[in-house]
A and B are shown apart, each in its own frame.
Chain A
Amino acid sequence: MDYLYSTDFLFLVGTSLAKTIFLIFLVVLPMVSYTVYAERRVSALIQDRVGPNRTGFPLSLIGGKDWSPFLGGLGQPIADAVKFLLKEDFVPAHVNKFYFWIAPTLSMMPAIVTLAVIPFGSTILGVPMVVANINVGVLFMFAISSVSVYGIVLAGWSSNSKYPFLGGIRSTSQMISYELGMGLSAVPVLLIAGSTSLPQIVEYQIHNGWMMLPYSNGHLGWGKTLLWIPIIISFVTFTISMFAETNRLPFDLPESETELVAGYHTEYSSMKFALFFLGEYTAMIAGSALIVVLYLGGYHVPGIPNGDAQGGIPILRHVPGLIWGIVNITAFFAKVAALLFVFIWVRWTLPRFRYDQLMKLGWLYIFEIALVNIFLTAGILACTH
């Protein structure tokens, strides 16, 4: 009981709340809306179109000379949000109301909850920049992100309509198949770092070089070079599984609009549909964040000190740690943004898999390669240490 009234506990609650509000409302949700915008612009550019380049603030309202598209389309996410809020929220008569209402939230919430264990920065004023520093961070990510399949399955089932139902079934089997591959792909990283705590994996990468860039700490080594091979395999299989987990093309069978109208969210409208949409993009951000943490060194940039002004190039340590803390957070989200661009880029390049190809890839290739890769990593580790 004493602990509950102690200043330590209040400090913990206060900082956690501040971090959550910063992460969710100031970074991730705006990032989600602008990822949607980026998706539309990048897809347009890839297909030799222009894309939404007009929605902005009409300067003529505040006495501008003529109607000029100030912001050049950057107001699009705001316009989309307003549209979603103002649209009629139509619930068909034939649906199972309870599950129909609960499904959109179930697809959005897990994606947000997984962000709790992501170390998105080093420290700011001595406070570590991770909402929940638990020592099973990776397992937590996998466990919670697999809950999001319930949102899709319930949406498909409660809609009581054939296309959503097919989408829901496809989603179940797809997510279960690829979860195995994803979990096993990440094991080599856990073996090398010797921890399942995400902040500790980042710490390991700061000291021993990033997983994907083993020489980033400035030291060469035979062991590291040998370990690079299984890590690259693991990175490729993990990224492919991540695409499947987030239902992105070429694995978007649950909603494949050319076959199933819109898949599991066919019967949804207004903000409920928007929740599915946002949930997909939030899951993309959480997935990219996990890839960044596991393989790309998290918030670390070679040569930049951490939030306590330690490490990095000695001359930079004279600058206050607060600045480096902010630089670290920026670096982390820059890496996430770069990965999101890859997500979008791949989506507008590859066609969708056929269903049997998807299952074959998941069970016969990704799963097996990941499994063999674990033994390969363990063998290399046993020989070099």
Chain B
Amino acid sequence: MAYVVPRPNLTWKEKIYLPSIVAGLAITIKHLKRMLKGETKVVMQYPEEKWDAHMPEHYRGAPTLVKDEHDRERCVACQLCEFICPPRAITITPEEIPAESKFAKVEKRPKEFEIDMIRCIYCGLCEEVCPEQAIFLRKDYAITGTTRAEMKHDKAKLYELGGVMKGLVHKWNPKK
């Protein structure tokens, strides 16, 4: 059944349409003024301004290797992270620490430690699994490169990003 849509009865002001145009222009110029005065919140200008200061403590950025306060590599090349890594981004070549070294009793260290940042999914399992707490997910998120080779972080790069982590490793902590 057909039904009649009730049309609103327009007032004289609404019919000539000009007052609403003026009202619209007033609204847009108000927005323009507020933008010019800087009262409107706008997007962040990314490379110059960053959100880094507001990043949470648990942020999972690029995985990195750390040294302890005696400048010893914490990693003992147990390869647990290599085995647990879901996308298989980590490749470790272990080597024996030479006898004349100060840290000879640690026995092993990585000769090569590569993380392919194209593969890495930032899941944090490597950090979780590491018994020596040698690998940490830091807050670097803008990992860029122009070649695939550049996107493969080698040992030097990983230590550069990781820096030094002080304090005892959890497993040597006194029993609670």
Contact = CB atoms under 8 A, between A and B. Distances in A.
A46 B34 CA distance: 9
Contacts of A346: 25
B5 interface: no
A50 interface: yes
Interface residues of B, number: 16
Interface residues on A, range: 10 to 19
Binding site of A, secondary structure by majority: helix, strand, loop or mixed?
loop
Contacts of B34: 48
Contacts of A46: 28-29, 31-32, 35
Nearest to B36: A45
Interface string A35-50: 0000000100111111
Contacts of B31: 45-48
Interface in B31-53: 31-32, 34-36, 40, 42-43, 45, 47
Given A48-B40, A48-B42, A50-B42, A349 B27 contact: yes
A348 interface: yes
A42 B24 contact: no
Nearest to B41: A48
Nearest to A347: B28
Contact of A42 (B32, B43, B45): B32
Which of A42, A45, A49, A50 counts the most chain B CB atoms within 10 A?
A45
Contacts of B36: 45
B49 to A, nearest CB: 12
A50 B43 contact: yes
Contacts of B32: 42, 45-46, 345
B24 A350 contact: yes
A346 B27 CA distance: 11
B1 interface: no
Nearest to B24: A349
A345 B42 contact: no
Given A45-B32, A349-B21, 12 more contacts: A45-B35, A46-B29, A46-B35, A47-B31, A49-B43, A50-B42, A345-B28, A345-B29, A346-B25, A349-B25, A349-B27, A350-B24
